[in-house]
Amino acid sequence: MKHDETALCRVKLPDNGRKSENVPCRHFWRSAVLMLCAIVFFTACKEEKKGKRGYVPDSVGAINSLAVVIDNELWNGEVGDEIRDFYAAPVDGLPSIEPLFTLHQIPPSVFSGTTTRSRNILLIQNDSAAYSGLKTDVHARPQQVGVIQASDHQTLIDLIGKTHDEYIHAFKENDVKANQKRFLISPNKENYLEQKFGITLKMPSVYKTGTQKDNFIWMERVIPKGTMHILVYQLPLDAIPDNDSDRVDAFIKMHDSIGKEYVPGREEGMYMVTQKDYAPYVFDITVAGKPTMETKGIWEMKNFSMAGPFVNYIIRDEANNRLLVLEGLTFAPSEDKRDYMFELESILKSVTFTGGHETTPGTK
């Protein structure tokens, strides 16, 4: 008696007055394979249309760090000096010299594995064709890779000088987004800012609301050797003039009056003012899609030995007929402050306008 190879795969169909039929196993598997191929084909087409790629790992690295992929000879010569001049330049508005980025040189021969997953990469290489450009998510996500290549040292130096503003902006924005994503691991869920000013900020839960007045909110974070602070208030639209020659003086006068009113010291006659020895840095930027005056400088406590850096954003919110003011400041004696201030900058740049608010500009 011969062995029936299809016996294990027979399917008994309803009788309906007929004899049962045997469905061979090979027919079943043939249909299954055809169906699977169709699914894979249409899924691949769909993914291709969306422009999606396969799996890309998460990027790694500390905030404000930059991996510089360059051979040792270039790094130790004039090309390396040009990189350091721009990418390790002093940060504006800090009381001591701290670099824009902490630079990590990586020779091309060891640029593999985890090192390729660095969030921000500057790639410098000798090549017969001169080229510069930014590439996104090459080895990881999110990732920015600034590429500079040329056949000679002088051209490399020229390209570094021409591209540094664009590359630094891209690297910093990448770090801002990375910071804001980290805030969401344990976010602050207080709603005082939304109730009073019609805004939200992304920040860690370690920031706690302290002082609340009609037109002012003060939030604080305790750090190992000091404190970090966020101040939020609003002003009339015409409180700061548009012309450059007058707005710095107007800012200092406004900033000092807010400090006197809302940021007192330990004793009577002590309050926060703008340090006059160093002129603040002022930039025109855009925050939340609105024209913004960014000011970086040093604050100090009047009649008391206490000082630190601040970053201030005056956002022109014409929809609500006001200037919305967001300020971050740090007090951390004898400590580096670059990363603290960058955290505050990342928080303030996350502002979202949600609608109505309780207070009107100029109220106390």
| Statement: residue 193 has pLDDT above 60 | yes
**301 bridge partner residues:** 272
Instruction: Report pLDDT digits (tens) over 249-291.
Output: 999 999 999 999 999 998 999 999 999 888 899 999 999 999 9
d(CA 358, CA 319): 15
Cβ 202 vs Cβ 355: under 8 Å: no
Select the more confidently predicted residue: 302 or 278. 302
d(CA 131, CA 148): 6
d(CA 258, CA 263): 7
Angle between helices 153-183 and 78-87 (to 10 degrees): 30
- Both tokens of residue 230? 């966020």
d(CA 291, CA 283): 11
Element (H, E) at 9: none
Instruction: Report pLDDT digits (tens) over 124-165.
Output: 999 999 999 999 999 999 999 999 999 999 999 999 999 999
pLDDT of residue 244: 77
- Both tokens of residue 259? 């400090």
Q: How far apart are the first and last CA of the chain?
A: 102
| Statement: residue 119 has pLDDT above 70 | yes
| Statement: residue 198 has pLDDT above 60 | yes
pLDDT of residue 214: 85
Average pLDDT of the chain? 87
d(CA 292, CA 304): 32
**% of the chain surpassing 90 pLDDT:** 77
The residue behind tokens 């980290």 is 182
d(CA 345, CA 64): 13
d(CA 213, CA 199): 16
| Statement: residue 191 has pLDDT above 90 | yes
Instruction: Report pLDDT digits (tens) over 91-104.
Output: 999 999 999 999 99
Sheet with 131-136, side-by-side order of all strands: 102-106, 65-69, 120-126, 144-150, 131-136
pLDDT of residue 271: 96
Select the more confidently predicted residue: 13 or 331. 331
Q: 14-18: long-range contacts (C-beta < 8 A, 24 or more apart)?
A: none
Q: Is 109 helix (H, G, I), strand (E, B) or coil?
A: helix
In this structure, of 25-39, 46-60, 62-76, 254-268, the range with the lowest mean pLDDT score is 25-39
Longest dimension (CA), the chain: 110
Instruction: Report pLDDT digits (tens) over 199-230.
Output: 999 999 999 999 999 899 999 999 999 999 99
Burial environment of residue 146 by CB neighbours within 10 A (0 to 12, 13 to 18, 19 or more):
buried
Query: Chain-centre distance of CA 325, in angstroms?
Result: 20
